[in-house]
Chains A and B, each alone.
Chain A
C-alpha cells in the first residue's frame, strides 16, 4: 500500500511527486526546440480540458460524450472577440467570454437534462448529438465562424499591470498554460473536497442514495456542469492562440472522444490522471503521424480496450490516489 511507503502522509508523497512533475515541465522549454514546446503547450491546454471532463465523469459519475462543445465554444468565443483587435481590453473580454458562455451553456444543458431525470447513457447520447450539431454549425455558417477555413489569432497581446504578454510567443504561452493548468488542478482538487464536491461524489456513487440523504442531485450536477464548462472554455481560449487557428475540429466528435480516452487511460476520478493522459497521448499523437500515426492509433485503441477490460480505473485511478483527492 502507498500508505506504508508514505508513512502517515500519503498526500505529502503525492504532492512531492506532483511537484517533481511540475518542475520537469518548467524546465522543458530550456532544453527542447520550439516545436516540441508548442506541442507540449497544446497538450497542457488539453490537460485542463481533461480535468474538466473528469470533474463530470470520474467525480460526479456523468459521462459527457460531446465535451468538446464547451472547449470549442470557449475557443470560438475567444477567437471571434479578438478577430480584428490585437490588444487591450479586448483580450480580457474575450477570455471572460470564453469562460462565461460555456458555463451558461452547461447550466442550460444541465437544466434541460438533469432536472428531468435524464442521465446516464441518454445524457451521453444527447451530448454526442450536441457535439455533432455544433460541429456542423461551425462548418456551415462561415460568415460567423470562418467555416472550415477557421479563425486566425495572430498577433495577440495580453496586457497585465506593468507588462505585456505576447500571445504569439510559444514559450510565453507554454508558461501561461503551465501556470493555469496547475492552478486549475489544485482548484479542482480543492473543489472536490468541499461539501459541494463531496455531494457530487456521493451522487456519482449512487444517485438514489444521495437523493435519499437530501441532496438535490440535479442541482449539484447542473452546477458542476457549468463549472466544468467554464474550465473547458478557458482551456479552449488558451488553445486558440497556441494553434493560431480555430476550426470546427475544436468542437467536434474527435476531440470529445480523445479527451475521454485521455482520462480513461490516465485514471478516472483523480483529476491528475487526465493531465497525465493528455500530456502523454496528445504529445505522442502529434509526434507520430503518417502511417506510423495509424499504427499508433491502432495501438491506442487496443490499449484502451485492455484498460477498460482489465484496469478500468486507468493508470492513476487507484483507490489510494482517489482518497488523496477526495473522491473516494
Chain B
C-alpha cells in the first residue's frame, strides 16, 4: 500500500495542452476514479503515473518519493489496459506469472501465486487457456490477476471494462472493487462511465479539458456538484436560470416561479444563480377532472416516457420550461402523454451555483 501525490502535473503534446495543472492526492488503500469525457486528460494522467508519459511540469510522488523519470518497468505499478493486453503467446497462468518471472521469483512460487490469483478472479479452471480461448471479460480478469501478481504499490486501471457488454461490466466492476478492498491496494481508476465511477470509488475526481473540476465522495459529487459541468456530467440534471429571493426561496425560470430550497451554497439574496434539480427530486401526481394543482405544486403536462426498467423517465412541459422527472414505472404508466400533473419539487434536492 502506498500514497500517490500528483502536484501541479502539466502535460503538453505539441500545441495541445492535455493537462493544465493537475493536483491530486490518493490515500493509502483508497480507490480514486478519474471521471470525465473523452479528451479530458484522464488517461494522460494515468499514463504519467504509470511512467508511459513524462510530465511537462509538476511532481509525482509515491510514498513521498519523486517518481518523475523512474522507468515504467521499475515503478512497481500494476496496470490493466482498455485494450485486451494479454500476451497472445502465453496461457492465462503464464501471463500472470510473467511479472513474477521478471522479478526472478522461483518457478514454484510463481505457479502457486498465479493459481491463487486466477482463483481470486474466478478463473481457476482456465489457467491453461490462451487469450484467444477466453472471452473479453475473462481476458480482463486475467489482466487484473497479472497486474496484482507483482504485488504492486499502486494499481492502475485504464477503462478496463469499456469493451465489455453491460452485464459483464457490472459483474466485473464489483469483482474489481471486491479484490481491491480485500487487498487494500491503492488504486487509480480511469473511466468515462459515471455509473461505474459512482459504484466503486472511494472518491471521484471529475475532469474536464485537462482540469480537475471537483473531487469528492461519490454521494457528494452527485448531490453537491460544484460546477455546471459536474452537475451535467454526473447524473441527469434539470438546469434553470434563477435568482435567490431569500435564504429559503429561489425564483426559477422566466416566470419567476418560487421554489423552496434548503441550501443556498453560499449564495445570498439577489444573486443570479443556476438552479439544478435532479429528476428524482421531482414528484408527480395526476390532476383529474380539471382540478387545480395543490399548494406548493405547479402544473405540468406529460410529453413523453422513457422506460428504464423499475424507473420511467417522464418528460414534462411546464411554465419553468421542459422538465425531466424519474417516477416508479408502475406509477408513471398511469400518466400517459398529455396527462395534466401536479409537479412537486423536493427542496432538499435543489442545488444552486452562483452565476
Q: Do A and B come from one complex?
A: no
